[in-house]
Amino acid sequence: MDNRAMILGVPIDKVTLDSAMDRIIDFFSKEGCAMVCTPNTEIVMAATRDKELLKVLSSSQLCVPDGIGLVYASKIHKLGLRERVAGVDLMKRLLNYAHDQGLSIYILGGKKDVARLACENIKKEFPSIEISGFHDGYFEKKDEESIIKQINEKSPDILFVALGAPRQEKWIYNHKAVLKTKIAMGVGGSVDIWAGTAKRAPVVFQRLGLEWFYRLLKEPWRYKRMLVLPKFMIRILLSK
């Protein structure tokens, strides 16, 4: 566990964007499906209450710190996290690699037409990527067998799952043993950004670690969910 920091009992890999990408590239040469998770502060707090989610995150092959609060917590407790690794940035790095290597992708999740639009825009920017398929996130448990069959028939190199946390993480964990893909990564709202139905915070907010604040300004109805941030920091400070 030396390569992982324990934050409120949740293991987070001590990686940078570059080293996280190196780890993912290595997964392509391994057997089976590697699970990549991108937990932020909200997901870590959820995992302190949800034993199933904690098990899922602990079992992932890569769990990156997608939340500036996790980096602050690491600095307070000297845990070794060097930087925030945003899921949207890691997804773009992976798409760049897929383009260079001529790999294939499948997108599962999002509202109606979001996955399709994301695939179209990804193909425009990365023409060497093969689009194996896509499916929206509106499906029931009885539909899962046919969706997995559809994915496996194409056997994509990378499966991006955008079902929202923690549903996407649990879905990958519950099915990765039968999924014929090398990488399964939970990407949440990153697919909306690729689809053009959502915009990422301006660079200045990204650099200051205030993407969460920009999102709150744009979507003030999310304030109840944002209350988890001060609760997280209070727990971190009290645990020092």
d(CA 103, CA 121): 16
What pLDDT score was predicted for residue 225?
72
The per-residue pLDDT for 201 is 84
**Whose CA is closest to 115, among 132, 127, 92, 93?**
132
**What CA–CA distance (Å, rounded) separates 28 from 43?**
27
Following CA atoms 94, 96, 100, 103 in sequence, which dihedral angle do they give, to the nearest 10 degrees? 50
Contact assessment for residue 157 and residue 177, using Cβ atoms and an 8 Å cutoff:
no
Q: Which residues of the chain have a pLDDT value below 50?
A: none
Specify the pLDDT at position 210.
79
**pLDDT confidence of residue 2:** 74
How much is the pLDDT for 222?
66
Q: What is the pLDDT of residue 217?
A: 81
Query: What is the reported pLDDT for 81?
Result: 97
Q: What distance in Å separates the CA atoms of residue 168 and residue 161, rounded to the nearest whole number?
A: 6
Per-residue pLDDT, 55: 98
pLDDT of res. 155: 98
- Residue 141 CB partners (closer than 8 Å, separation 6+): none
- Residue 7: CA atoms inside 13 Å, Cβ hemisphere, count? 38
